[in-house]
Chain A
Amino acid sequence: MRERYTRLRPVLAALVLLTLAFGIGCHHVTVTGTPPGVSAQAVANWYQAAGALKTIQDTVSGATNSAVSLKADFPSASGYQATLLALGKLSQTDIEAANYLKTVPQNWNQPIQTQLNGYFTQMSKTLQDATSNGITGVKNPQKQAEVNALIGTLTQAIQFGLTLTGGQ
Chain B
Amino acid sequence: MAGTQDFLTGITGDVQLALVVGNTIVPVIKGAVKEVKALLGDQTIDYQVVITTGAAELDGVVSEATTTLQQINEERKAAGLDPLPIPGS
Contact = CB atoms under 8 A, between A and B. Distances in A.
Interface of A: 14, 16-18, 20-21, 24, 26-35, 38, 40, 43-48, 50-55, 57-58, 60-61, 64-65, 68, 77, 81, 84-85, 87-89, 91-92, 94-96, 98-99, 101-102, 105, 153, 156-157, 159-160, 163-164
Given A28-B5, A68-B75, A91 B50 contact: no
Give the interface size class of chain B: 35 or more
Interface string B56-72: 01111110111111011
Contacts of B33: none
Contacts of B58: 50, 53-54, 98-99, 101-102
B5 A92 contact: no
Interface of B: 1, 4-11, 16-22, 24-29, 39-40, 43-48, 50-51, 53-55, 57-62, 64-69, 71-73, 75-76, 79, 81, 84-88
A166 to B, nearest CB: 10
Contacts, number: 188
Contact of A31 (B18, B19, B24, B50): B50
Given A20-B9, A29-B8, A54 B61 contact: yes
Contacts of B39: 27, 29
Contacts of B84: 85, 88-89, 92
Contact of B61 (A33, A47, A95, A105): A95
Contacts of B25: 14, 17-18, 21
A61 B6 CA distance: 25
Given A30-B45, A92-B69, A105 B55 contact: yes
A20 B7 CA distance: 11
Nearest to A102: B58
B69 A88 contact: yes
A27 B68 contact: no
Contacts of A164: 1
Given A43-B50, A43-B51, A95 B9 contact: no
